Chain A
Amino acid sequence: MIGYLLFAVFFGLLLLGIHRKVIARIQRRPGPPVWQEILHMFKFSFKSTWVPVTASQSLFIGIVLIAIGIWSAALFVVVTGGSILVIFGIYLLHKIVEHGFGLSSGSPYGKFGGVRSVISAASEIPLFVSVAVIALYTQSFEVSEIVRYQEVHGPLLFIVPLAAVAMYLVVLSKMPSGPFSIVESKEIVSGYKTEHFGVWRAGLEVTNGLKTYVLLFTFLALFIGSLSIGWVVVAMILLVVSLAFACALCPMLSPFDSVTVQTLFTLLMVGYAAVLWVVA
């Protein structure tokens, strides 16, 4: 498991590097090398580090430990075929963690990032609808059962495509430079991450690598089914390239528009789930 955990961290960071590279090439920039995010992690971990005077020391440090811990737990839950409700819970917990990051520093930019994280909770509701639709068809919340269902009936991507689109939007909202990335947009410097520099930022990079891997792996497990590790790698790269196109071609929305679009999509998804429930 420690090997898999390290693989997830490094491969997740590599995926983020590919994401940056593809965005850069679409925008006709050379862009950084694909391993840049891995270099970032090492670079930050070597930077001289301290805790800002305005920060709450215990929360400032503790929140980094919690962030790495919850995504490590999410990885174990999804690869061992555990409950998607636990992953959903961890995903919601991440909102609180982002908020904690922002509040712990005492910086106004961090606080704005934390507040934006809370108001963008609208992006989580399509995930709830996705989970409900999947459970409606498979009669289970266990990833292992859902994967088994797909071995018999085929990928859920073709059975409930709108639920897959909903989860795709949730993953998109977590990618950097996307239309819904309001928590770390440039007008608030780096949002909730602004004051976490040096080793703390290296810890955040580890979290980002894990989070990216877990979200993409969950998407593949829930909507494609069982794949060998080689196909997982290929499918994740394809997913990241498609997400990069979405990020490069859609401008970042203002916080109000971001929440409005996500809320409208959520209403659409609730209607879709209601129709499926009546039909099924």
Chain B
Amino acid sequence: MKSRKSFYGRLALVSGLLVATGLLLNLRDIISLVVYEILLVLLFPVFVLSLGLWWMAREHEADIPFLGY
């Protein structure tokens, strides 16, 4: 279970770093806006899910942190 958590953590980190790298490359005009957008379309979903899968409560852990109302 721990190895899975660290896998999702690494996946979130790598996808997040790639998005940040894309942003920097786009700001320096090394890659075009379209390429950066394609990068985001491909990596943003991976980042969202892998971050959640890394962060989520494991079995037998309390998992109600945000009740809201």
- Give the B-binding residues of A (Cβ under 8 A): 1-2, 5, 32-33, 36, 39-40, 42-49, 61, 64-69, 72-73, 76, 80, 198-200, 202-203, 206
Contact = CB atoms under 8 A, between A and B. Distances in A.
If over half of B's interface residues share one DSSP class (helix, strand or loop), that class is named, otherwise mixed; here it is helix
9 contacts: A32-B69, A36-B68, A40-B66, A48-B59, A48-B61, A49-B52, A61-B49, A80-B37, A199-B56
A156 to B, nearest CB: 27
Given A1-B33, A76-B40, A39 B51 contact: no
Contact of B56 (A1, A39, A45): A45
B45 A65 contact: yes
Contacts, number: 94
Interface string B28-43: 0000010011001110
Contacts of A202: 48, 52
Interface string B42-63: 1011101101110111110101
Nearest to B68: A39
Contact of B68 (A2, A40, A198): A40
Contacts of A49: 52-53, 56
Nearest to B53: A199
